[in-house]
Each structure stands twice: as C-alpha cells, then as structure tokens.
Structure 1
Amino acid sequence: MSTIVHADAAPKAVGSYPHARRVGNLLFLSGVGPRKRDDDSVPGNVLDANGNLLSYDIEAQCRQVFANVRAVLEACGARWEDLVDVTVYLTNMEDDFAAYNRIYAEHFVEAQPCRTTLGITALPTPIAIELKCVAVLGQTA
C-alpha cells in the first residue's frame, strides 16, 4: 500500500504527479525544482518580454530548491536527516557545478545522503536544477 502526498507549502506540480509517495517507510519525492510556491516564479531568472530566459542565478535556484525539498519532507512527516539518496540534475554542469556543490555542502553538513549529479540539456520549465530524493522514515542514526 502507498500514500500520495501533496505538500501545500511547496509549489504545485507542473504535471499530473504528487509531490511524494510513501511506500512503507520509504518516501519517494517527485522531481523538485526551484519555483516559488506563492507566484510560481523562479528565483534569479531574468526573462525577456516574451518569457524567454535571458539569464539565471544558480545560487538562488539552489537555495530555493533545497527549501522546496524541505517543505515536501515536512509535509510527509520527514526530516532533512531522513534523506538517503539525492539525484541532482543540472542544465549547465560546466558553469554551475562549483556553486551548486558549495551550497549543497552548506545544506548537508550532518545529513550525508548518497548523491548523483547529472548534466542534462533541459528541464520542462526554465530552471537550471532539479532534485529527485528518497528518504527513509523512522530511521535512527
């Protein structure tokens, strides 16, 4: 049996999927991006009059995506420390990895989930980073 979770404190999904799904004591988060919940904007994005992306701020997006992951975890009754696996998608590995890696290290001081970082060509919306996470609920250190 599994439970679908929609997190009110996180941005709405951009498709037909839940924020997370709990199966036993495992929690699987759908891809989480850096959009803001209140207005669906992406921190640091600069768009032209037609809505085309001109530039972005990877640091602002990293901080927001971590806040969004935390919001989904909390809606599920989970903690940051419950994360056991994080897959990170970057649209510009060459330019963004160093800043992302530094901010990641700020957020994962004691919690040390496994991590995979992939460089990809695009994401469904004009974002530069997305996280896919797995947590284990009720675990002890």
Structure 2
Amino acid sequence: MSDIIRTSTAPAPVGAYPHARRVGKLLFLSGVGPRQPSDNTIPGNVYDAHGTLVAYDIEAQCRQVFANVRAVLEAAGARWENLVDVTVYLTDMARDFPSYNRLYAEHFAGVDAARTTLGITALPTPIAIELKCVAAFD
C-alpha cells in the first residue's frame, strides 16, 4: 500500500514532490521548511531594500518548521509521537545549533525519535533549517 499525502495546512512543496508518502506502516515526509502556509513567508527573515537576506531568527524558523511537520503528520493521520527518525539540516551549525537544540528538546519531549543534525551550506530557499522525517504507524 502506498499513499501520496498533500495538504493545504503546510506550505506547498518547492518542487514536483508530495508533502509525504505512506508505504505500509511508514510515513516518509519530504523536506519540510519554515515557510508559513498562509502566505509562503519565512518567519524571522529580514531583507534589505534590494531584497537581499540580511538577518534571520532561527528560533522563529524552528517553531514554524515544527508546526509544518505537525501539519503534514496530521494530514496523513499520524501523530507527533509517531516520529521515529528526524534529520535536521542547518545552514549555520555554529551559530544556530544551541538555539535549535534547546527548542528541539522542548518540542520533542517524550518523542524518542532517532535524530541526525547536519550542517550544510545552503537550502533551495532562504531558510536556515529543514527537517526530513519518518513516522511509523501503530
């Protein structure tokens, strides 16, 4: 059994892929960023007069990306507690890891998902964090 998950409660994917795909008892989420579903803006981003990103708020982006993951899970009939694996991509590991790690601990309390955090140089849109998740259904 394989189901494609698409939802309007999470931001639209930036490419030709679904929000998630369920295969048997596993749900594979596509990369989820912190864009707001209502208007596609990125919380905490500050741009100069030329539209160049000059600053961002990693805490605002963390909160939004966690909310977006939750929205995809719920659209698929899964719960936050169903998460079994979380891969996190940060564009500035040295600057952002402490704040992200603290917020992760708050939001994922009681969720014993495996976790990997990677520092990368860029993401396809001007975001500082992206999550790739796997959930398991009971």
Aligned to 1:64: 64
Gaps of 5+ in 1: none
Superposition deviation, residue 61 in structure 1 = 0.2
| Paired residues for 1:32-43 under 5 Å | 32-43=32-43
Aligned to 2:15: 15
| TM-score, normalising length: structure 1 | 0.96
Gaps of 5+ in 2: none
Indicate the SS of the match to 1:89: strand
Q: Given residue 84 of structure 1, which amino acid in structure 2 is its aligned partner? A: V
Taking the aligned partners of 1:38 and 1:7, their CA distance within structure 2 comes to: 12
Indicate the SS of the match to 2:22: strand
Taking the aligned partners of 2:75 and 2:9, their CA distance within structure 1 comes to: 8
Q: Given residue 134 of structure 2, which amino acid in structure 1 is its aligned partner? A: V
Indicate the SS of the match to 2:131: strand
Q: What's the Cα RMSD here? A: 0.7
Superposition deviation, residue 22 in structure 1 = 0.2
Indicate the SS of the match to 2:8: coil
Aligned to 2:83: 83
Superposition deviation, residue 47 in structure 1 = 1.1
Q: Given residue 26 of structure 2, which amino acid in structure 1 is its aligned partner? A: L
Taking the aligned partners of 2:49 and 2:137, their CA distance within structure 1 comes to: 45
Taking the aligned partners of 2:50 and 2:3, their CA distance within structure 1 comes to: 40
Superposition deviation, residue 10 in structure 1 = 0.3
Superposition deviation, residue 85 in structure 1 = 0.1
Indicate the SS of the match to 2:54: strand
Count how many residue pairs are aligned between Structure 1 and Structure 2.
138
Aligned to 2:111: 111
**What stretches of structure 1 move > 4 A for 4+ residues in a row?**
none
Superposition deviation, residue 112 in structure 1 = 1.5
Indicate the SS of the match to 2:81: helix
| TM-score, normalising length: structure 2 | 0.98
Indicate the SS of the match to 1:15: coil
Taking the aligned partners of 1:46 and 1:24, their CA distance within structure 2 comes to: 42
